[in-house]
């Protein structure tokens, strides 16, 4: 799936004034909906009810695994239209049940005080190997169907500093990672869609940061992982066709949950364009005797 195909799949059908329907891209090996997809579609649904304002923050909960074989219904509640801020709540529904909800706030364009943290030191994007090439090398002896998954077109280009870890032989690493990423193909001129695709991509590697210190992966027998919630703050507009550094750290894991923070910087000028926070399930279920 290339970037333009992704944009097409994310777009919604309007069923009623505040009711929308979305679909999931056809990917045979995916058993549940990727979290970044439902974040992006929920944000798009909210945008369908907002005029002349830009999202500055969103907060969401993953409630049930999404079924990729059926459409998702997005019900938008127009919580408030104020002088400077607009608030929306979006509930995503499948099989008559909530699978996800999102609250988002939108603001009129406004000038004010500015400061930001400096972009952390990192090798340049052109010095880091593409994640897909790393995975092909690590999975050269894997079954053919697993290797074929790597050959599909991918909408987001990712380059992990230090390389992706070997899921078959995971080794403990520090709870910190840096990923260069961008939309692989042109998104278009709509600034809202750049924000939506950035939100889509923000869920791709963040949870993995809290897993790194523990020497486990999705191939570890009994290991379970899933995003539980996701928050995002958009500080500045950006063109996601440009390279961005996603600096991620995990200050804590406890109670079967890992907590992660992410900061997204634009490569061209070091601008901090967005920040993320996420907590995810991470536990190993013991086999029943």
Residues with catalytic function? 203, 227, 278
| Three-class DSSP category at 212 | helix
CA 122/CA 162 separation, integer angstroms? 10
CA 258/CA 185 separation, integer angstroms? 32
| Three-class DSSP category at 191 | helix
Backbone φ, ψ for residue 117 (5° rounding)? -75, 155
How many Cβ atoms from other residues are within 10 Å of residue 7's Cβ? 21
Q: Which helix (H) or strand (E) holds 57?
A: strand 54-62
User: Is 231 in contact with 60 (CB distance < 8 Å)?
Assistant: yes
Tokens, residue 177: 């990672």
CA 99/CA 112 separation, integer angstroms? 38
User: Is 65 in contact with 226 (CB distance < 8 Å)?
Assistant: yes
**DSSP character at residue 174:** -
**DSSP character at residue 222:** T
């Amino acid at each position: 799936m290339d970037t333009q195909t992704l944009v097409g799949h994310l777009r919604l059908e309007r069923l009623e004034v505040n009711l929308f329907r979305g679909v999931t891209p056809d990917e045979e090996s995916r058993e549940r909906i990727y979290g970044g997809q439902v974040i992006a579609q929920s944000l798009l649904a909210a945008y369908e009810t907002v005029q002349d304002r830009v999202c500055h923050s969103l907060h969401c909960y993953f409630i049930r695994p999404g079924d990729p074989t059926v459409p998702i219904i997005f019900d938008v509640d127009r919580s408030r239209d104020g002088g400077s801020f607009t608030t929306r709540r979006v509930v995503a529904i499948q099989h008559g049940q909530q699978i996800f909800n999102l609250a988002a706030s939108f603001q009129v364009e406004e000038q004010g005080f500015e400061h930001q943290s400096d972009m952390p030191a990192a090798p340049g994007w052109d010095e880091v190997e593409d994640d897909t090439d790393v995975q092909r090398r690590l999975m050269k002896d894997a079954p053919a169907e697993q290797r074929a998954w790597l050959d599909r077109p991918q909408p987001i280009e990712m380059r992990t500093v230090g390389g992706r870890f070997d899921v078959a032989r995971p080794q403990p690493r520090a709870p910190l990672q840096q990923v260069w990423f961008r939309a692989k193909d042109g998104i278009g001129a709509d600034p809202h869609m750049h924000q939506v695709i950035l939100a889509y991509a923000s869920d791709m590697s963040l949870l993995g940061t809290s897993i790194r210190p523990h020497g486990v992966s999705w191939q570890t027998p009994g290991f379970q992982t899933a995003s539980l919630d996701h928050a995002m703050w958009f500080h500045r507009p950006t063109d996601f066709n440009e390279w961005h550094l996603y600096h991620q750290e995990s200050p804590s894991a406890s109670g079967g949950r890992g907590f992660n923070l992410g900061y997204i910087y634009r490569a061209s000028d070091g601008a901090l364009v967005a920040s993320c926070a996420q907590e995810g399930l991470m536990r190993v279920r013991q086999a029943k005797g």
